[in-house]
Structure 1
Amino acid sequence: MKANEIRKGMVFQLDGKNILVKHVQVQSPSSRSGSTLYKVRGQDLVSRQKFERSFKGDEMVEPVDMTRSAVQMLYRDGDGCTFMDIKSYEQYTLSDEALEDELDFLSDGLEGITALVADGAVLAIELPATVALEITDCAPGMKAASSSARTKPATLATGLIVQVPEYLTPGEVIKVNSETREFISRA
C-alpha cells in the first residue's frame, strides 16, 4: 500500500512494529520539484509509544489485516475497562495504560466505540467523533452571558477539563470532540 492511501484508524507495519494511525496531515509541496508529504501520527500498538513520521506519497507501507467490531463499554475497574462486542456478546478487557488517550471519554454504557481486533485480541479502540459527557464542576453560570462570550474551565464526569461557554452550569450534558478535546454544543 502506498503512503498516500494511509487513513486515520488504519494499522500498518513498519520496522516490525504495528502502528495505529491517529492523524494524517497532508503537506503540499512549496516548489514545483517538491513532493507531497504525508505526516502520520500514531501509536505503536505493543509498546504504546507515540509514532510520528513523514512519508512521501509513493513510499510503501505494509497494511495489517484487522477486523473492526462495534463494542459498548460495560464498566471500569482495577484491571482496566471492559467492553462487550455488540454482535457476539464477547467481552474484552483493556488496561488503563492501553487506553491512556481514550480514558477521558470513557463512561459506563458508552456506545459507538469500534474495537480493532487481530488474531482474536483487541489491540485498540476508536472512539466516536463526539462524546456526550456531564459537567460535574465549573464556575456558576451567568444568565447574561451570550453564546459567543468568554469561556471557563469545566470538569466533566470522567475528569476531563474543557473550556465551555460561561452560561453552562454543573449537571448539564455537553458534546465534546474526542479528537480535539473541545466543547461542541449542549447534548
Structure 2
Amino acid sequence: MRGLHHLKRISIVRSLFSFSNTTSPGALTTRRSLYSVSRLLSSTPYAAGGCCRETPPLQSPWSAVQRRGVKVNAIQLRAGNVIERTGRTFRVVEAEHKQQGRGGASIQVELRDVDTGNKLNLRFGSEESVEKVFVEEKSFTCLYAEGDTAFLIEPNTFEQVEVPLDIFGKAAVYLKEEMKVQLQLYDGRALSASIPKHITCTVVETQDPMKGLTSAPRYKRALLDNGSTIQVPSYLEAGEKIVINTEDDSFVKRDNK
C-alpha cells in the first residue's frame, strides 16, 4: 500500500512539472497551483508498519525557475542584474563599457554578494559569458524615504516593505512619494529596484552665464528640487517644471502639463 501511494505521488508530480514547462495558458495556471498541489500531496500520510510519514513539500515553481539561470554574453550585463559565479550569487551594482582600441570591447562591473554584502570588481571581455539568474519583478508605490531606507507599499495587497535606498543605485536621488517603482526579488529578497525612466522635476535655481562671453552658452547648470544638479538649456528659468531622463540625468523637455 505504501509503494502504491508513493508511485501515485511521483506520477502526479512528474505530470505537473512536464505540463508546467509548456507555454500554453493552461500551463500558467498549473505553475501557479503547483505548490498548492504539492502541499496537498505531502500532507497525505501513508501507512508503513503502523506509522505515518509525510513527504516534504516541493519547492515553488518560481524558486525552481530562479535557480536555472541562462548563459549570456557578459557585455549585456546592466546594473540590477543578478548572476551566479563560483557558486555565489551576485547583484550587478555598476556596469561600465570600455573600448580597448583594436583589442575589442570589454565591460567593468562592480558586483555585490547578496549573502555577505562583499563587493567584487571584475572585467569581462566581449567573448566571455556569465550565468544570469532570473528574478521576480513586482510593482510598488513609494510611501516615503527616511534616512537610508525607502518605505514601499504593494498597491493590490497593501503589503508594506522596507528596502535600503542603495538598491536604487544613483536613481535614489529621484525617489519621491507616490512614485511607482519596480523591485527585483530573488528568493523573496529585494536585490535591486528601478524607477520610471522619465520623471518631472522643478528647477529651483539656475547658474548665471559668465560675464564677458561674446555669445550665450547653449546650456547651464540647474539645481533641481531633489537637490541634484544637471545641465539644462540656457532659456530655462527657476520655477519651471522639466522632464528628466533618470538613466543619464539628462534634460528631455519642458513639462507643459
Say yes or no: TM over 0.5: yes
Identity of aligned residues (%): 22
Question: In the aligned structure 1, how far is the partner of 2:120 from the partner of 2:222?
Answer: 28
Q: State the SS of the aligned residue for 1:135.
A: strand
State the match for 2:81 in structure 1: 10
Distance 1:5 1:109, change over 3 A: same
- 1:72 corresponds in structure 2 to 141
Aligned equivalent of 2:203: 135
> Is there any run of 5+ residues in structure 2 with no aligned partner, and where?
1-70, 210-215
Alpha-carbon distance between aligned partners in 2 of 1:86 and 1:2, rounded to the nearest angstrom: 33
What is aligned with 2:31? Answer: none
Q: Give the corresponding residue for 2:158.
A: 89
CA shift, 1:116, in A, is 0.6
Cα distance in 2 for residues equivalent to 1:155 and 1:48: 34
- Residue 204 of structure 2 contacts residue 224 of structure 2 at CA under 8 Å; is this kept in 1? yes
Cα displacement (A) at 1:186 = 1.3
Q: Secondary structure at 1:101's aligned position in 2?
A: helix
CA distance in 2, matches of 1:171, 1:56: 46
Task: Note the C-alpha offset of 1:29.
Answer: 8.2
CA 1:149/1:172 → structure 2, altered by over 3 Å: closer, same or farther?
Answer: same
- Deviation, 1:40, is 4.9
Quick one: which amino acid aligns to residue 63 of structure 1? Answer: K
Partner Cα separation in structure 2 for residue 170 and residue 48 of structure 1: 43
Matched positions, count: 175
**Contact persistence 2:184–2:193 (CA under 8 A):** yes
The answer on whether the counterparts of 1:71 and 1:85 sit within 8 Å (CA) in structure 2 is yes
Preserved contact between residue 3 and residue 61 of structure 1 (Cα < 8 Å): yes
1:39 matched to 2:107? The reply is yes
Is the radius of gyration larger for structure 1 or structure 2? 2
TM-score, normalised to structure 2's length?
A: 0.56
Q: What is the alpha-carbon distance in structure 1 between the residues aligned to residue 182 and residue 94 of structure 2?
A: 14
What's the offset of the Cα at 1:73?
A: 1.5
Q: Is the Cα contact below 8 Å between 2:84 and 2:90 reproduced in 1?
A: yes
Identify the structure with bigger relative contact order (alpha carbons < 8 Å, sequence gap 6+).
1
Q: 1:129 to 1:92 in 2, by over 3 A?
A: same
> Deviation of residue 173 (structure 1)?
1.6
Tell me how far 1:55 sits from its aligned partner: 3.1
Q: Secondary structure at the match of 2:239?
A: coil
Distance in structure 2 (CA, Å) of the matches to 1:83 and 1:136: 27
Q: Which position in structure 1 is the counterpart of 2:194? A: 126
- AA aligned to 1:13 is E
Equivalent residues of 1:25, 1:40 under 8 A apart: yes
* Aligned partners of 1:41 and 1:52 also within 8 Å: yes
Deviation at 1:114, TM superposition (A): 1.6
Task: Output the amino acid matched with 1:12.
Answer: I
2:179 paired with 1:110 = yes
> Unaligned 5+ residue runs, structure 1?
142-147
Indicate the larger mover: 123-132 or 97-106.
Answer: 97-106
Of 115, 125, 138 in structure 2, the residue corresponding to residue 55 of structure 1 is: 125
Q: CA deviation at 1:181?
A: 1.3
More strand by share: 1
Q: 1:61 is paired with a residue of what secondary structure?
A: strand
Label 1:163 to 1:52 Cα distance change in 2 as closer, same or farther (>3 A). farther
